Amino acid sequence: MGINLFKMKSSRFLLPLILIFLISCNKEKPESGKALVTVEGIDLSAPSTGGARILADEVWEHPLPPNFFLVFSSKESGQSYPIQFSSDFGNSSSSFELPFGIYSYESSPIQEQASTTLPIQFGGNLTVNSSQVKTRLSGVSDFQLLSFQKNNLGGIPKTILPQTLPLGSKGNYYFVYAKSQSPVTVEIPLSNGKSFRWGWDAQAFSHRGFYFQRETGDPPPALISDPYFTYLNQVITLKNNGFPEQLNPYRVRTLAEGLKETSGLQWIVNRLFSINDGGNFAEIQEINPDTGLILRTIQVSNAPNVDWEDLAAGPDFLYIGDFGNNGGTRKDLKILRIPIQSVLNQTQVQAEVINFIYQDPSGAANADLPYDCEAMVFLGGKIYLFTKETSTNESGIFAIDDIPGNRIAQRIGVFEATGKLTGADLSPDGKSLVFIGYETTGFNSRSFILAYPNTLPAAIPSSSTAYSFYLGSVSQTSQTEGIALFSSEKIKISGEQISVGGLTVPPRLMEIDLKGILD
């Protein structure tokens, strides 16, 4: 494939491609008034990789579809000429004739969202005024290439989103082209028998490579040069438990202005709800799960927002945890209980109140305990609270009866977390529990999820089946605060806006897929 580099306009996501048409000297002369055109190559316009090519183990060659189909329309007569030619450039199958004249040309819109060959959309003008015409046809491609080194993989990965498709195979890599702005999830089978799903938001005309590398014993990643796409490689460590150290959020959106301090997230049926934390209005926001825009605001008329931290839901009620206690001095801890039907159908609701105090380690109720809490779930008539310790990563588990009035949060036990827990949710079947949180190492802190498959809340202290995954720096994810499981394949995460050192990270809504981990 003959390809030359040209400069592209950085302001566009759709980058031009140029077809070079040349006359084959071995073909018979075309009919009078026509030109014989032979396709000999494609010019892809992309930033140069410079010296990286010298150090690379391999130069990536982009596979093309076997055939191209274009329609040339005469600007004089209006007549159209459907033309199909092979991507096996220079052969007779890539030659065709056109009468002299001035043409516009185009290919059909690309319908596929994922492909194992580079999709190209053509469109432009062509002048044919002699039997030998050298010209370039313009096209665009708004696809990204994702490639996966085969080391430690146990079979052919396949895309789940935006469509189901086995990845292509080339040397020591599996690969797929994904349409820009489309969320992509790839199911990765590992040689250890486990599998997980890797998410990504595709960006046009770039090449992202991934290598899942064991903690010890694996060779360094192979170096690729891609002279046409902007290339970046990422190494992801496979931990001793067989799963990767991190997962990548996708469908990343900026939340609406009214949710800068989002603090909780909850699905009710197929509708998504969020709240802001303390100091904001006593309101529940229904949000669009795809865009992060606010669809509806529900006012809680009889309870202030002292420090709302998390949402939970049961069959009949939505619960708001007003138990934030960063200073360790609050004595008015409470949980608000609101009928689900009121939340779904009204714009103003009233809440019943569950006031509570914690048990200390001896089992005595104590209103002076300095516990801070930002995570809770509902299961079987009880509300389970998970504290956010201030000096360690140890979290306490407490249970409260789902009955308005004055209650005691009964101590169940403690467990070690990856960092500070800021939200929790149960799987729809109630069998698995997932936490969201973040480290506390400043702007270099990472967000994480902590997953307990097939583990009930009360069994966490004795569970040996816990998987933690980093999601990236809070400078990318924002300060992650809420998590909501629609299914193991669709888990929403929200993060509040943060500002450090003059840099502001807006509030985020994003998604991860835990298929293969939770079930």
Q: Identify whether the C-beta of residue 264 lies closer than 8 Å to the C-beta of residue 321.
A: yes
For residue 474, the tally of other CB atoms under 10 A from its CB is: 23
CATH number at residue 265: 2.115.10.20
Statement to judge: residues 332 and 461 lie in one domain: yes
Q: Identify whether the C-beta of residue 433 lies closer than 8 Å to the C-beta of residue 460.
A: yes
pTM of the predicted model as reported, rounded to 2 decimal places: 0.89
- Is 293 among the domain residues? yes
Statement to judge: residues 292 and 423 lie in one domain: yes
- Classified as helix, coil or strand, 259 is helix
Statement to judge: residues 502 and 376 lie in one domain: yes
**Nearest-CA neighbor of 291 among 200, 191, 181?**
181
CB neighbour list of residue 157: distance below 8 Å, 6 or more residues apart = 148, 166, 167, 174, 186, 187, 188, 189
Whether 381 shows a pLDDT value over 90: the answer reads yes
- Mean pLDDT value of segment 14-19: 41
- Mean pLDDT value of segment 194-204: 96
**Cα(441)–Cα(446) distance, integer angstroms:** 8
- Is 451 among the domain residues? yes
pLDDT tens per residue, range 58-92: 899 999 999 999 999 999 999 999 999 888 877 77
- Mean pLDDT value of segment 152-175: 97
Give start and end residues of each alpha helix (H) in 78-158: none
| Residue in the block written with tokens 């888990």 | 491
Q: Which residue has the higher pLDDT, 422 or 37?
A: 422
CB neighbour list of residue 391: distance below 8 Å, 6 or more residues apart = none
- Is 154 among the domain residues? no
Statement to judge: residues 269 and 122 lie in one domain: no
Last residue of a domain, which of 141, 176, 200?
A: 141
Percent of the chain topping pLDDT 90: 71
Q: 64-73, 139-148, 438-447: which range is least confident on average?
A: 438-447
Structure tokens at 20: 């070079």
Structure tokens at 44: 């892809």
Q: Which residue has the higher pLDDT, 141 or 167?
A: 167
Quickly list DSSP for 185-243: EEEEEBTTS-EEEEEEE--TTEEEEEEEEESSSPPPPPPEE-SSSEEEEEEEEEPTTSS
**Cα(333)–Cα(326) distance, integer angstroms:** 12
- Classified as helix, coil or strand, 134 is coil
Report CA-CA distances (Å) from 90 to 5, 67, 83, 473.
20, 13, 16, 49
Say which amino acid occupies 236: I
- Classified as helix, coil or strand, 145 is strand
- Mean pLDDT value of segment 233-238: 96
Structure tokens at 118: 């580079």
- Classified as helix, coil or strand, 388 is coil
pLDDT tens per residue, range 352-376: 999 999 998 888 888 888 899 999 9
**What is residue 15's predicted lDDT score, i.e. its pLDDT?**
39
| Residue in the block written with tokens 């699905």 | 267
- Mean pLDDT value of segment 337-357: 98
Strands (E), 58-120: 58-59, 67-74, 80-86, 95-99, 101-107, 114-115
**Nearest-CA neighbor of 81 among 65, 104, 61, 64?**
104
Q: Which residue has the higher pLDDT, 12 or 109?
A: 109
- Is 309 among the domain residues? yes
Q: Are strands 173-179 and 114-115 parallel, antiparallel or unpaired?
A: antiparallel
Say which amino acid occupies 220: P
Statement to judge: residues 426 and 282 lie in one domain: yes
- Mean pLDDT value of segment 329-351: 97
Q: Identify whether the C-beta of residue 4 lies closer than 8 Å to the C-beta of residue 21.
A: no
- Is 274 among the domain residues? yes
Statement to judge: residues 137 and 262 lie in one domain: no
- Is 414 among the domain residues? yes
| Residue in the block written with tokens 């895309």 | 159
- Is 4 among the domain residues? no
Report CA-CA distances (Å) from 483 to 52, 324, 427.
41, 17, 11
CB neighbour list of residue 316: distance below 8 Å, 6 or more residues apart = 339, 340
Whether 161 shows a pLDDT value over 50: the answer reads yes
Mean per-residue pLDDT over the chain, rounded: 89
Q: Identify whether the C-beta of residue 137 lies closer than 8 Å to the C-beta of residue 122.
A: yes
Statement to judge: residues 134 and 254 lie in one domain: no
What confidence tier does 291 reach under pLDDT thresholds 50, 70, 90? very high
Overall number of domains in the chain: 2
Q: 22-31, 346-355, 385-394, 494-503: which range is least confident on average?
A: 22-31
Whether 450 shows a pLDDT value over 90: the answer reads yes
- Classified as helix, coil or strand, 108 is coil
Statement to judge: residues 307 and 442 lie in one domain: yes
pLDDT tens per residue, range 467-491: 999 999 999 999 999 999 999 999 9
Containing domain of residue 363, as a range? 250-512
**What is residue 26's predicted lDDT score, i.e. its pLDDT?**
41
What confidence tier does 441 reach under pLDDT thresholds 50, 70, 90? confident
What confidence tier does 389 reach under pLDDT thresholds 50, 70, 90? confident
For residue 450, the tally of other CB atoms under 10 A from its CB is: 22
Last residue of a domain, which of 121, 141, 161?
A: 141
**What is residue 94's predicted lDDT score, i.e. its pLDDT?**
79
Percent of the chain topping pLDDT 70: 90
Q: Are strands 394-401 and 348-349 parallel, antiparallel or unpaired?
A: unpaired
Whether 6 shows a pLDDT value over 70: the answer reads no
Last residue of a domain, which of 110, 125, 141?
A: 141
Whether 220 shows a pLDDT value over 80: the answer reads yes
Q: 24-38, 145-159, 228-242, 333-347: which range is least confident on average?
A: 24-38
**What is residue 405's predicted lDDT score, i.e. its pLDDT?**
98
CB neighbour list of residue 126: distance below 8 Å, 6 or more residues apart = 72, 98, 102, 103, 104, 105, 135, 137
- Is 60 among the domain residues? yes
Q: Identify whether the C-beta of residue 227 lies closer than 8 Å to the C-beta of residue 5.
A: yes
